[in-house]
Amino acid sequence: MHPVLRKTFGGLSAQYYIRNFLFGLIFPVLIYTALTHSKTGVFPMGALFYCLVNSLLYPYARFVYESIMDYIFGNNVFFVNAILMLVVKLFTMAMCWSMAIFIAPIGLAYLYFHHSRASNQS
């Protein structure tokens, strides 16, 4: 694998990527179901491309979101209603998935510079 690809797309652990990728598949399934049960019953190629790109980039967008939240909240623990927490979690997942094409490049750039710096120091 090319070093740039290894430092960016290979920058997340396989476990983290697969876990977030599988959770991110919730949204294309919902979109597919909604579009195929509409009056036309067709899943447009543009929607297919959008779903594919966002699903592949979702783990990197989620990485950016979680990194920002870790920075803001640190090691604090909050006790909140479980239903509220799940609704907020689903909302943030939907936000990260729908904007993954815009958010993920930030995470990919960070991973590239982080792994470049780590390889230069060792």
Asked if residue 118 has pLDDT above 80, the reply is no
What is the Cα–Cα distance from 122 to 113, expressed in whole angstroms? 14
Backbone angles phi, psi at 38, to 5 degrees: -80, -175
Which pLDDT score, from 0 to 100, does residue 1 have? 64
Least confident range from 4-8, 9-13, 40-44: namely 4-8
Domain positions in the chain are: 11-121
Q: What does the DSSP 8-state code read for residue 30?
A: H
pLDDT tens digit string along 15-34? 999 999 999 999 999 999 98
Average pLDDT over residues 46-65: 95
Which pLDDT score, from 0 to 100, does residue 5 have? 65
Higher pLDDT, 119 or 13: 13
Q: Please, what is the Cα angle at 59 between 99 and 63, to 5 degrees?
A: 90
**pLDDT confidence bin for 120, thresholds 50/70/90:** confident
Average pLDDT, the chain: 89
Which pLDDT score, from 0 to 100, does residue 44 have? 86
